[in-house]
Every structure is written in structure tokens, then in C-alpha cells.
Amino acid sequence: MKSGESIIFEKKNVLVTGGAGFLGSHICERLLKEAKVICLDNLSNSTIQNIDHLLQYPDFEFIKCDVNKPIDLEQFDELDKFKLKFQGVQEIYHLACPTSPKDFEIHKLESLWANSNSMINTLDLAVKYRAKYLFSSSSVIYGPPAPDFNVFSEEDEGLVEHLSPRGCYDEGKRFAETCVETYRQVYGLDAKIGRIFTTYGPRMKMRDGLVIPDFIVDALEGKDMVIYGSGDMEQSYCYVTDLIDGLIRLMHSDPDVSVVNLGHNQVYKVAEVAEKIIKMTSSSSKVVFEEPLVFLTTKGIPDLTKAKETLEWIPLISLEDGLQNTIDYTIANKEMMEFNHPNN
């Protein structure tokens, strides 16, 4: 079947790599409304608890698999019900990549592989099945913002230090995008790149150096809230359901739409976010400052013009509403989340 042809099946088959991660689990959940979902994850930087509630659905199947190695979906008996030899796969969302700030040094090789080996393996699958393909890239490809230039559009090329301690991730994402574009040119794939800016919400890993979940846990426990860097550091925050809606709209967009920024364009100081969480949780916590983590760097703000014009997409959830949802989820699931943290 050629990309773009009408699907004659009752439901399409969709593959999600990194499907047990933060974004992956949300996209699997959303896709079940319209598709049969194959979730691939090696659980090296995620947890099965993120998709526990999905395992009961007959249209969902989890496969523990390392996408850094060649992928043959038809070898898994569990996927017989998807009739892959007859129907194939219609869409591939490639989200697998470790993003742990505190454990970044430990996962450097995995980051390198995720931005190289897994790109080729998943793109080869897209060629095999003539599937539409979406890669979750990152705003880091733009490099650090300057005081007088901090809003990035898709045409901005940015400047990344490819030999820096972060090169395996930052330059890796740039190479990964090159892989996608090369397969577009050579094989005519309908392949998309979503450049994701900071996103938050339920199921983010706790005690991992991520700003919002760490702030919430510390606030609930009355501990000091640590800001790695200056309190003047600014960032935008997109709630996860908005981001997922953007990714799905991008997948469904016309073949000539290839690269789109997805995130929120409203900016807050990190210290301001900490104070909001303290107030919302009625916490006695204080804000303290420590040296920046290598993985946590200042990021720019997305120009969302293209997302608005081509996807008719804008983020809708306010920071206050998103924080409240995330606080409520953390309170309800804190014990389970701590028990299943990979560092425990």
C-alpha cells in the first residue's frame, strides 16, 4: 500500500516506540480511540505502570523490545491478532529516547544509539510497510537562545556544539532529523518531525531532575525545592494533552508538512513556577539554588505560526490548570511512582 492511499481496514495499525514512557503512554492512550496500537519499549528509562491501564484492551499490545536493534514485528506471536502480513502498519510514532537529566551521563550511549541506530531501524520499517512516520525531535536542535534571539521558527538553523558533553543528544537530534529527511527524499516517505519544547504532566518520572515533578514531590513533602541554575531562568511549559493533540494533528497533516514546532509560547521564570506549586499545595517548602545539570539547559520559545496555520493547533491548557492536574495525579500515585522509580 502506498502512503496516502485509503485504508480499507476497520482500524489502522499504529506502532509507538518508547510507548511506556511519559509522552509515549499518553499517545498510546489517545490512539486507542481510533486505532490498534503496538507499543514497543525496552523499559530502560520508563515503567510498565504507565501503560498498566491499557493492557486490558484487545486493540493494544506491549512488546518489550530494543529498537536500537533491527525490528521484525512479524516474529512476535502476540501480534498475530494485528494481521501484520496482510494489513501491515499504517503509522509509526518514534518517541524512544532516554531523557533523564540526573542520569544523563549513564545513558549517553543509549542517547547516541536512539538518535542513530533506532532512526534507521524505524525508518526501514516505515519503508517496508509504506507507513506514515513521525519523529519526536526536540527544541535543542536550535541550540541555546540569545538574549536578543530566543523565539525559534522552523527555518532557524541554530548552533549546537557537537563535541560538548550533551552532543550525543543535541547533535544526535539534528542527525536524527537528517535521517528522516533523507528517507523522505530517497523513498518518498510521508515523514514528519515534531520539534517538541518543554512538556509536563502526569506520568513524568519523579526525582529525575525534571523541574515540575520534582517541585511537586518536594512541595508535598515540605522539602527544599531545588532550582538547578538561576531563578531568572525562563522556560515555556506545554501540558501533555495539548502536545499529544499536536503530534496527532501533525501525523494526519498533508505530506508536504514535514517540520513543525510544538510547545507553549508563554514564558515563566522557573522560580515563579516553584512559587505557584508551593501556593497550590499549601507547602512549607523553600526554594534553593544549585549548580545546573548538564542535561538541563536554557531553551528558547517556539514560534507557533506554522502549527497554527498548517495544523490549526494551539495549546489550550493554562499552566495553573495543568499544574493542578499534575499535582492531583502525583498525590494519587506518589507511592506507586516512587516504588517503581528505576533508581530504587
* Catalytic annotation, residues: 169
Contact 277, 215 (CB under 8 A): yes
Q: Using N-to-C axis directions, what is the helix angle for 270-280 and 211-221, rounded to 10°?
A: 40
Q: How many CB atoms lie within 10 A of CB 249?
A: 18
CA–CA distance, 58 with 277 (Å, rounded to integer):
39
CA–CA distance, 61 with 38 (Å, rounded to integer):
5
CA–CA distance, 144 with 234 (Å, rounded to integer):
12
Nearest to 9 by CA among 36, 32, 30: 36
Task: Map residue 12 onto helix, strand or coil.
Answer: strand
Please state whether beta strands 234-236 and 267-269 pair in parallel, antiparallel, or not at all (unpaired). Answer: antiparallel
| DSSP per-residue codes, 227-292 | EES-TT-EEE-EEHHHHHHHHHHHHTS-TT--EEEES---EEEHHHHHHHHHHHTT----EEEEPP
What the block records as the C-alpha cell of 55 is: 493492557
Q: How many CB atoms lie within 10 A of CB 81?
A: 11
CA–CA distance, 72 with 36 (Å, rounded to integer):
18
Residue with grid cell 499545595, as numbered in its chain: 281
